[in-house]
Structure 1
Amino acid sequence: MSELTARAVGSLRGVGPRAAERLARLGIHTVEDLLFHLPFRYQDRTRIAPIGRLRPEQHVVVEGEILAADVLFGRRRSLLCKIGDGTGIIALRFFHFSAAQKNNLERGRRIRVYGEVRVGGTGLEFFHPEYELATDETLPPLEQSLTPVYPTTEGIQQRSMRALMEQAIALLNQHPPRDLLPDALLKERQLPSLRDALLTLHQPHPTDAVEQLLGGTHPAVRRLVVEEMAAHQLGMLQRRAGQKAHRSPPLAGGQLFGRLCDALPFALTSAQQRVIDEIAADLAQPSPMLRLVQGDVGSGKTLVAAAAALAAIESGYQVALMAPTELLAEQHLASFRRWLTPLGIDVLWLSGSLGQKARREALEQLANGQADMIVGTHALFQEAVQFHRLGLTIIDEQHRFGVHQRLALREKGRQDEQMPHQLVLTATPIPRTLAMSVYGDLDTSVIDELPPGREPIDTLALPAASRRADVIQRVHAAAARGTQAYWVCTLIEESDALQAQAAEATWQDLQAALPDLRIELVHGRMKPAEKAAAMARFAQGEAQLLVATTVIEVGVDVPNATLMVIENAERLGLSQLHQLRGRVGRGGGKSYCVLLYQTPLSHTAKRRLSVMRETCDGFRIAEEDLRLRGPGEWLGTRQTGELAFRIADLMRDEAMMAPARDMAEQLLAAYPDNAQALVRRWLKGAEGYADV
């Protein structure tokens, strides 16, 4: 498609600098971009409907003779034009009109009208319809194909967009695009050529099934979808090949982790052992490990990460673990110090809140090789941080980081062409479609087994207005049994200050309602030391109830906590609700989660609460969350990057992802030139959007 790619949209008639600027807002810079800008619905202007058979809400073409055109003065001045075709009469009503327009609507003149039939003051009427007037008693021929309706922006009208598209289609016919998918693959899947697919989508025949065109099941749509998906897969496969071309230090160990396991009061699950073996096989290679470990809340991902860290340390290399929040990073710090200190290994801490002296000492120990491991937040990839021999980076809850942040940490370990191994963790199960789309260049391990003795958490959804007092009594009863509880406060606004106010108000209310309990408070506005002290008192059992904002979503592990209360649960997404619920059920006893909601509930909120009551399966919850929110919102804008497909829809086209992956692999192996051209056509230089 080189001619169409090279030709700027500004070269088309009617596109000056201002129009080009407006088209750019739609992502249209070239003629190719214009052709990939597909209609979102179609109008049938290929046949004329008899006026006498019209019904309200129909979108139709009618032809007739103008019977009268008069200006009416009432509450609002309007121009009313009546036309008839022998089967009936209908009025055209205009509230915005000129004297010239009225004069053109002469009695006896033929007219063709397209619009929506509505009920008006004189019966059936068209309000501000599109129309054409006959010249020398003749009207232009009817449309031969369905009329597309395109997404537009301010200053670009449908008529202008269609005129531009006509020019683009003429160029498409003059310079047919090169089919980069081999004929054999197209025939195998019964898909049309790219040219035929584009012509069908922009100029569908009246007999084409509009429902299939708009629903993504028509072969013309599937042709573009599979090519776009294949291009994204190619981008990841090429990126993976580029990453694997780097060297990494082979890491082997086992003695230190064996000593750690001997000291643990529990045994590894078979799923943990399987994933540890997969990681060990990767680390032993001289090329970088690129592995994503998925595990539901409480499945033991941190211990798996410890196995990888100890292999690196035993091999004489440093380890960096980065988490998105201070609270989560602090939890990792506590876990790794508890496990590694008895083995004679110091674990350093680095965050934005660290004092200057402590920070300077930590940086010196990293740079001179005294420190084996460091845990921290975004502070780890700042310029001042220099490693002596970084062999492994571990990134937790990686979807919360931007792409460049992860790259920056990896680059810290670069020594000539040698890169550190990478292990990324998530407690948010990633639906398979999304994993293939965003993390297709990573090997994936799944810890699909919970430690023995874990019982499913019973979940209730209750209206806050009428049941809040009952829930408070439930907290009191839990404390009387010697167990602990969380009370999580949420707000719509993404504001630490407002969240803190809400949590403090709730904390005060609960102190008044439960004077015999010790109640701690944790929120994002507290000083790190205050927050850590409150968490420690709760973890050690000195407090029976912890009131918190969603900062406790991940990383908090208090086995004695058996009750989770989530305020305003209707405001949170499914994955976040599931993460919060995962803070309980970590000991041997039965645990409960109470979702307090405000009425009225939206349809989506009802569905979320229903799913939470039905299942504790993180993967099922993630699939439903993706269905409700869509991939962009599910991932967050920083992670989505260039994932926003132009034509493919991850949910609608889920079944085509695996064939697209297969097609990408075949192209890379047998048609490398086509593969390169396909990436250039669809990714426009954004091949690195998910580089990890």
Structure 2
Amino acid sequence: MVRLTPVSATVTRWRTEAYARLHARLSAVVGDKTAKAFGKLGIATVGDLLQHVPRRYMAGTELSDLSGLREGEEIAVLAEVAGTKEHSMPGGRGRLEAWITDGRGRLGLAFFGRAPLIKYWQSQLAKGSRGIFAGKVGVFRDEPQLSHPDFVMLDEYGKYAGGSKANEVLAQVTQTSDLIGIYPATAKLRTWNIAESANLALDYLGEVTDPLPETVRERAGVLGLTEAYRAVHQPRDRAEAARGLERLKFDEAFAIGLAMARRKAIARSHPAVPRTRRPGGILDAFDATLPFALTAGQQLVSEQIFADLEQQHPMQRLLQGEVGSGKTVVAVRAMLDVVDAGGQAAFLAPTEVLATQHFQTITRMLGELAAGGTLDAAEHATQVVLITGSMPAARRREALLAAAGGEAGIVIGTHALLNDQVQFADLGLVVVDEQHRFGVEQRAALGAKAESRPHLLVMTATPIPRTVAMTSFGDLETSVLREIPAGRAEVSTVVVDVIKNQSWVPRAWERIVEEVAAGRQAYVVCSRISSADDSSAGDDGFAESVEEGEEPREPAVAVEDLYAELSTGPLSRLRTAMLHGRMPPEEKDEVMRRLAAGELDVLVSTTVIEVGVDVPNASMMVICDADRFGISQLHQLRGRIGRGAHPGVCLLMSSSPTESDATTRLHEVAATRDGFRLAEADLRLRREGDVLGAEQSGRRSSLRLLRVLRDQELISRAREMADDCLVADPELADPGLADIVDKIEAPEWLERA
């Protein structure tokens, strides 16, 4: 067994002796006031600042592109003065208008002050001179404008030549580098203030011991750490800046790889109860009742899981697959295998609706095999129980007793399963559904409920690009289900611009009537519940919000409003019902029962139907305000139709501008049903999410420099080297390696692990 020493003790020694300056508080270098401003950027130490690299570089002779400026955006641009005009105002004050240009477009500047100051600014802004101008983009007379921008003027060589007194700091910045770095900045922390602070940090740092072993640096072909920092913040040319950036990106990739390799080693170091497959038990009985043949993919993945379950260390496996690829059947077979071996399985779902649907689906699939403990129970039968936060107290108490006593072989629930009240007799397997709704911390919480570490199967119906899987789930083995079971129908997807094609809205309702007349069922999906809500988010909170930089839009259509409109108007002759997450559980269950039984024609719903709903007769879906949703969510929703023999139609209704990112998303979804292609597109548009913590979707990302699509090769190389390092040094005796892991892993997570 691998013995893993505490990282923190080794790291404390390392930081004290050789590495302390990188971890010094930034206030020690730039002062408390400036350090506080850096806090807005998430920068607290000298090392954080040196990792904050320019987003681009400018030479003093290269003008910025002024096209595409957005109102409200903080910018820093290099441009040429096109002219100025002075305006007198009462009381000895004045206004100076100026215009700067990139040779094609132009940007207005506005200054207000007393006459001497106006004259000074005008003298600085001579026509034909060049400078860097920074401020927030506003609009004046329908033209973009900077009001009272900070600026510095440059000479013909791109060096400081004067400007507003507060910005003379750029004199030093332009003297230390032939390129001017343009940093991600704030209104109170301009790009040249950051550059000056970086220079101070470099002076303070001096030469530090490189945390990467020399063998790794040579194999990777990267610069030393101090040299890389200087190349990024004080480059002589763009090639040098690129070499410095490559080292910092490698550090990030290597750190993630090492952290993931260590997580896997930690998991394998714990003992687990082997769950050996038992012939003639409940699993074989279940297989005999299946009304269909398993796909080749389902059989292969099941065998991988069974082999993992027989090991003396916990299984750590990610099962990802296309919408409708049959992951639930694979999960049920794994759980039954554990039940045959005398253990229990917990199935964790992200919402009550989904947990209830899984409970009903699994109970239905098992039939009499789920009636354990009753007089007429079949041989080998077990109990399947549901535990959610809103269950009636009596039912919840019965379910808790069945789980604690071992009578329930399968326990299905939401986050309520993480509650201290939930105990198991012998928890052998944890299945986590829709992993993107959970984080690393929640993966670990259920494991604490067993004496020996339970085996873990993580599932996602959102296909994950290979490099994301490597960075986000590198501690897990991966199985993929690409094959769709036979009998699934085609689904046509159409993007409907409701601004340009208003007649399509009533036509959509007519189309639903036609589908129902043909004996089919339909869904209408909205992104929020009530028009009284302040936000556009649905009841699960995962509806997509307005993109940064997009114009404010009309509030999204609400389920309650649209249901009232449709059920008394165009769909009044149909059997229509409403579903959302705030309804009482009994009402939600009854609506889903009636839909599955064919007693309803149309369901007007939020995204609670996104996953797990299986109504083969449903053939049409209208998604209102589809531009409010992300690619993966649209793909999931669309997967609710075409699950039987009837072709499906999905209408993506949108009022988003033609050239917007939201419309691009919609056309990506309409172009393909390949979830892996859509996952790549989603990643390009929305970035990676926090690959190491609980925030595993959206724009927030723990990756500062890496982009997992762009840097796939680098990530793969770094991961391979990280694996080799941990094999050679499993206890992380090398203090530099220990520090790398310590910085990227939260101590709380390591304690749980």
Cα displacement (A) at 1:674: 7.9
RMSD between superposed Cα atoms in Å: 3.6
In 2, Cα distance between the equivalents of 1:470 and 1:100? 64
**2:167 aligned with 1:130, yes or no?**
no
CA gap of 1:290–1:163, structure 2 versus 1, over 3 A, is same
> Could you tell me how far 1:4 is from its partner in structure 2?
2.4
User: Given the alignment, which residue of 21, 25, 28 partners 2:43?
Assistant: 28
Q: Which stretch has the larger CA shift, 465-474 or 626-635?
A: 626-635
1:543 is matched with which residue: 590, 596, 600? 600
> Which of 579, 598, 621 is the matching residue for 2:678?
621
- Give the aligned partner of residue 446 of structure 1: 480
- Note if 1:667 corresponds to 2:725: yes
1:497 CA displacement: 11
Q: Note the C-alpha offset of 1:104.
A: 12
User: Which residue number corresponds to residue 252 of structure 1?
Assistant: 276
CA contact (8 A) 1:667 1:675 kept: no
Alignment partner, residue 148 of structure 1: 181
Tell me whether 1:164 sits opposite 2:197 in the alignment.
Answer: yes
Aligned equivalent of 2:454: 420
CA contact under 8 A between 1:566 and 1:596: conserved in structure 2?
yes
How many Å apart are 1:643 and its aligned residue?
A: 5.2
Instruction: Report if the CA contact (8 A) 2:495-2:652 is conserved.
Output: yes
1:40-79 to structure 2, matched below 5 A, reads: 40-45=55-60, 59=78, 73-74=88-89, 77-78=94-95
Q: CA deviation at 1:159?
A: 4.5
- Shift of residue 380 of structure 1? 0.7
Residue 182 of structure 1: aligned partner: 214
Secondary structure in 1 aligned to 2:558?
helix
- SS of 2:507's equivalent in the other structure is helix
Q: Is the 8 A contact 1:462 1:594 kept in 2?
A: yes
SS in 2 for 1:180: coil
Q: In structure 1, how many angstroms separate the alpha carbons of the residues matched to 2:162 and 2:656?
A: 55
User: Is 1:46–1:144's contact at 8 Å kept on the other side of the alignment?
Assistant: no
Question: Is the 1:348–1:371 contact (alpha carbons within 8 Å) kept by the matching residues of 2?
Answer: yes
Tell me the secondary structure at the aligned position of residue 679 of structure 2.
helix
Residue type of the alignment partner of 2:327: K
Is the Cα contact below 8 Å between 1:337 and 1:347 reproduced in 2? yes
Alignment deviations for residues 601-642 of structure 1 (CA, whole Å, 9 cap, x no partner): 442232222222221111111111111111129999733699
Question: Structure 1 residues 195 and 506 mapped into 2: Cα distance closer, same or farther (>3 Å)?
Answer: same
Take 1:461 and 1:385, find their aligned partners in 2: how far apart are those partners? 46
Q: Residues 180 and 501 (structure 1 numbering): CA distance in 2 closer, same or farther, change over 3 Å?
A: closer
* Equivalent residue runs for 1:183-202 within 5 Å: 183=215, 185-202=216-233
Preserved CA contact (<8 Å) 1:433 1:650? yes
**1:510 alignment partner, one of 532, 547, 566:** 566
Distance 2:85 2:384 in 1: 86
Matches within 5 A, 1:165-314: 165-172=198-205, 174-178=206-210, 180-183=212-215, 185-205=216-236, 207-209=237-239, 213=241, 218-253=242-277, 254-255=279-280, 256-314=282-340
Give, as a single letter, the amino acid of the residue that structure 1 aligns with 2:564.
Q
Q: Displacement of 1:442 after TM fit?
A: 0.5
Tell me the matched-pair count. Answer: 638
Distance 1:460 1:162, change over 3 A: closer
Greater shift after overlay, 288-297 or 195-204?
A: 195-204
Q: How does 1:371-410 map to 2 (within 5 A)?
A: 371-410=408-447
Q: Cα 1:376–1:659, aligned 2, differ >3 Å: closer, same or farther? A: same
- 1:38–1:150 contact (8 Å) kept in structure 2: yes
CA distance in 2, matches of 1:584, 1:660: 42
Q: Distance in 2 between matches of 1:353 and 1:481?
A: 38
Q: Residue 102 and residue 682 in structure 1: after superposition, are their counterparts in 2 closer, same or farther (change >3 A)?
A: farther
Q: 1:566 to 1:26 in 2, by over 3 A?
A: closer
Per-residue CA distance 1:42-70 (angstroms, 9 max, x = gap): 3435999xxxxxxxx983799xxxxxx99
Q: Which amino acid aligns with 1:488?
A: V
SS, match of residue 448 in structure 2 = helix
Change (3 A) 1:97 1:622: farther
One-letter amino acid of the counterpart of residue 147, structure 1: I
Identical aligned residues as a percent? 38
Q: Comparing 581-590 with 672-681, which one deviates more in the overlay?
A: 672-681
Please name the residue that 2:471 is paired with.
437
1:164 Cα deviation (Å)? Answer: 2.7
- Paired residues of 2:627 and 2:655 also in contact (CA < 8 A): yes
Cα deviation, residue 181, structure 1: 4.5
CA pair 21-104 structure 1, distance change in 2 beyond 3 A: closer
SS in 1 for 2:503: helix
Q: Mark the CA change 1:10 to 1:516 in structure 2 (over 3 Å): closer, same or farther.
A: closer
Return the alpha-carbon distance in structure 2 between the equivalents of residues 34 and 359 of structure 1.
51
2:504 equivalent in structure 1: 467
Say if 1:352 and 1:589 are closer, same or farther in 2 by CA, change over 3 A: same
Report the CA distance between 1:295 and its aligned residue: 1.1
Residue 160 (structure 1) shift:
3.9
Assess if the C-alpha contact under 8 Å between 1:46 and 1:145 holds in 2: no
Task: State the 1:24 CA deviation.
Answer: 3.1
Corresponding residue of 2:31: 15
More divergent stretch after superposition (631-640 vs 354-363): 631-640
Does structure 1 residue 494 correspond to structure 2 residue 534?
Answer: no
Aligned to 2:711: 653
Q: CA deviation at 1:77?
A: 0.9
Change in 2 beyond 3 A, CA 1:461/1:98: same
Q: In the alignment, what sits opposite 1:684?
A: 743
Asked whether the 8 Å contact 1:431–1:622 carries over to 2, the reply is yes
Cα distance change of structure 1 residues 164 and 101 upon mapping to structure 2, 3 Å threshold = farther
Rounded to whole Å, the distance in 1 between the matches of 2:295 and 2:121 is 83
For residues 161-202 of structure 1, what are the alpha-carbon distances to aligned partners after superposition, in whole Å with 9 as ceiling and x for unaligned? 333322222244x3244251434x544554322222221111
Name the SS for the 1:372 alignment partner. strand
Q: Which has the larger radius of gyration?
A: 1
Whole-Å separation in 1 of the counterparts to 2:356 and 2:436 = 19
C-alpha offsets along residues 385-440 of structure 1, whole Å, 9 cap, x if unaligned?
A: 11111111111002102433332222112x1xx21111111111112221111101
Gaps of 5+ in 2: 1-17, 64-75, 99-108, 135-147, 154-160, 164-170, 370-380, 529-534, 544-555
Cα offset for 1:524? 1.6
The separation in 1 between residues aligned to 2:79 and 2:561, in whole angstroms, is: 59
Describe the SS at the equivalent of 1:148.
strand
Change (3 A) 1:633 1:540: farther
CA distance in 1, matches of 2:308, 2:677: 29
Q: Hey, what's the Cα distance between the residues in 2 that align with 1:308 and 1:104? A: 74
Q: Deviations over 1:661-681 (max 9, x none)?
A: 112112223466586524524
Supply the distance in 1 between the matched residues of 2:85 and 2:619 (Cα, whole angstroms).
Answer: 76
Q: Does the Cα contact within 8 Å between 2:347 and 2:433 map onto a contact in 1?
A: yes
Q: Report what 2:157 is aligned to.
A: none
Counterpart-to-counterpart distance in 2, 1:668 and 1:153: 40
- Pair 1:361 & 2:398 matched: yes
Q: 1:407 to 1:490 in 2, by over 3 A?
A: same
Name the CA shift for 1:366/1:167 in 2 (closer, same or farther; >3 Å).
same
Q: Which amino acid aligns with 2:480?
A: V
Query: CA separation in 1, counterparts of 2:384 and 2:175?
Result: 77
**Cα separation, partners in 2 of 1:11 and 1:295, compared to 1, 3 Å:** same
Give the Cα separation in 1 of the matches to 2:62 and 2:176.
8
What CA deviation, in whole Å up to 9, does each residue of 1:293-334 have, x standing for no partner? Answer: 001111110110011101111111111111011111111101
Which of 382, 388, 394 is equivalent to 1:345? 382
Residue aligned with 2:681, SS: helix
Question: SS of the counterpart of 2:408?
Answer: coil
The partner residue of 2:651 within 594, 605, 609 is 594
